[in-house]
Structure 1
């Protein structure tokens, strides 16, 4: 998918930056990007939410910890990736997940 404008082409992810790190390093960097018109509109909204103390769009620490507890075993498995074309129903190997369960997959 192409960016809707040149400003929308920038993407970065913030993981758990809080306290002193956020105040001294992260927020100043974000505000500098905003001043230079390099910050995507979605991040401008997040910055305004930070300033207003609205955490609605942010993941809480317990959610992050639970996610890692769930996903880390999957990420650490020695399972090969199964590539498939964008827009398709996924790799053929996915069909084997239901094999023997008495359930059928429908690609409608």
Structure 2
């Protein structure tokens, strides 16, 4: 448990539990340098891995210029790379021909 971050840790762990039952969510963690954002997210990542979740994370630097969809492309690539061959095949089948192309691009 992170000292002084019990409320935030519980909220993120609860969101992870809801994800396991099919309810997704998005979280934005931001704040001044040195207040524990990275430690909070590392704890969440470790808990997700412990529960068998595929985890993707990126770091964006305030003021840096990036294409609007670039962070999501990185997340998609990380998640696709975490899939087993069987999971990739099932995802491609579910997504159809356009999805296969997207998966192949993401795997590149």
TM bucket (normalised to shorter chain) is: under 0.3
TM-score, structure 2 normalization = 0.22
Q: Which has the higher helix share?
A: 2
